[in-house]
Amino acid sequence: MTIAAPTADFLVLPPRPDSTADLLAASARQRGMAVELLSGPVLPDRLRHATGAHLRGGPVFAGAVAEDLDLVLLEPDDDWLTRLPYEYTHRDITLTTLGEARWSRTPMFVKPPRDKSLTACVYADGSRLPGDADHPADTPVLVSEIVTFLVEYRLFVLDGTVHAASRYATHGRLDPAPLDACPHRAAVLDFAAGLLDTCGDSLPSAVVVDVGLASDADRGTEHWAVVEANMAWFSTSYAADPDRVLDVVLRAAGPRDRLAVRDRAFVRPHAAVG
């Protein structure tokens, strides 16, 4: 039996969806959207000419199906963190390559700009960084001073405002909670408002920004700072309202013919996704 292609907006999920994908699928169905759980990275023929596709999944999966679905994936620039005013980072951050970072002989925090191709953590020096075939020397990485975050929050941003949010870590340990239930709610939203008002044009219209309360042990002070920015179509929702998270995901990975002019600079090339 041939199954007809969707005739309205639909959400495509990878073969092994995570808990966030399950929550978004439930929200999508409540809106009347079809949810397509693929059995592999090859798109079924019935979906190749369908319109209205959206996606939630990892970079490899997205790279396999995005072009055939004619959808675009929005993401922040690799060097976005490095271009922020110091008042929003409170640390020196450099975009470099894994090969260059391997020359460092001082402790540092290293992470990929967006993809999770490398474990983001503190490395005692560059010799501890991986050097195998899966981590070539030209792999881009962000290298920063080591910062201790007391508590961290995930913000799903839509059109320059916080659309959904959740605490996700306390003292470096997973600790999800809705933002509205957190004592730092007002401080988080105030910091985010200043950041987005000043730097919102340097981000896609749908994106995830993580922020946190950092401790400066030397000075005995605390301050709010940006942790990182990520693509919304592959970010864990934690305790954020899944229906509002879905709003952001649908914009972040949606039909090419709906792409806003201001987002053209943030479209990820399909060739680089996989």
Q: Is the CB of residue 255 less than 8 Å from the CB of residue 70? A: yes
Predicted confidence (pLDDT) per residue in 244-259, tens digit: 999 999 999 999 999 9
The mean pLDDT value for 238-242 works out to 98
Quote the pLDDT of residue 205: 98
Residue 5 has pLDDT above 80, yes or no: no
Q: Which pLDDT value is given to residue 166?
A: 98
Is 117 or 70 the better-scoring residue by pLDDT? 70
Question: Taking the CB of residue 267, how many other CB atoms lie within 10 A of it?
Answer: 14
Flag whether 129 is in a domain: yes
- In a domain? residue 198: no
Residue 61 belongs to what H/E stretch? helix 59-69
For residue 244, being part of any structural domain is answered with no
How does 69-83 read in b/e, with b if 16+ C-beta sit within 10 Å? Answer: bebbbbbbbeebbbe
Domain assignment of residue 163, yes or no: no
Same domain, 14 and 67: yes
Strands of 10-13's sheet in order across: 34-37, 10-13, 53-55
What pLDDT, on a 0 to 100 scale, did the predictor assign at position 274?
41
Mean pLDDT, the chain, rounded, equals 90
Give the span between the Cα atoms of 133 and 129, in whole angstroms: 13
Residue 19 is predicted with a pLDDT of 97
pLDDT in tens, 60-114: 999 999 999 999 999 999 999 999 999 999 999 999 888 888 888 888 888 888 7
Asked if residue 29 is part of any domain, the answer here is: yes
Separation CA 98–CA 13 (nearest Å): 31
Q: Determine the pLDDT at residue 2.
A: 43
In the chain, the amino acid numbered 52 is G
Q: Beta 108-111 vs 121-123: how paired, if at all?
A: antiparallel
pLDDT tens digit sequence for 7-43: 589 999 999 999 999 999 999 999 999 999 999 888 9
pLDDT the model gives residue 111:
83
According to the model, what pLDDT value does residue 193 have?
A: 98
Same domain, yes or no, for 67 and 99? no
Domain boundary among 129, 144, 159: 144
pLDDT of residue 217: 66
| Residue 96 domain boundaries | 92-144
> Both 140 and 101 in a single domain?
yes
- Is residue 31 located within the same domain as residue 63? yes
Domains held by the chain: number: 2
User: At residue 131, does pLDDT exceed 90?
Assistant: no
Q: What is the pLDDT of residue 218?
A: 67
In a domain, 182, yes or no: no
The pLDDT value given to residue 269: 85
Cβ count within 10 A of residue 184: 18
Q: Is the Cβ–Cβ distance between 143 and 104 less than 8 Å?
A: yes
SS3 47: helix
Task: Tell whether 19 is covered by a domain.
Answer: yes
51 and 102, same domain (yes or no): no
- In the sheet where 121-123 sits, what is the strand order? 93-97, 140-144, 108-111, 121-123
171 phi and psi angles, rounded to 5 deg: 50, 40
pTM: 0.91
Question: Which residue in this structure is represented by tokens 């929050």?
Answer: 153
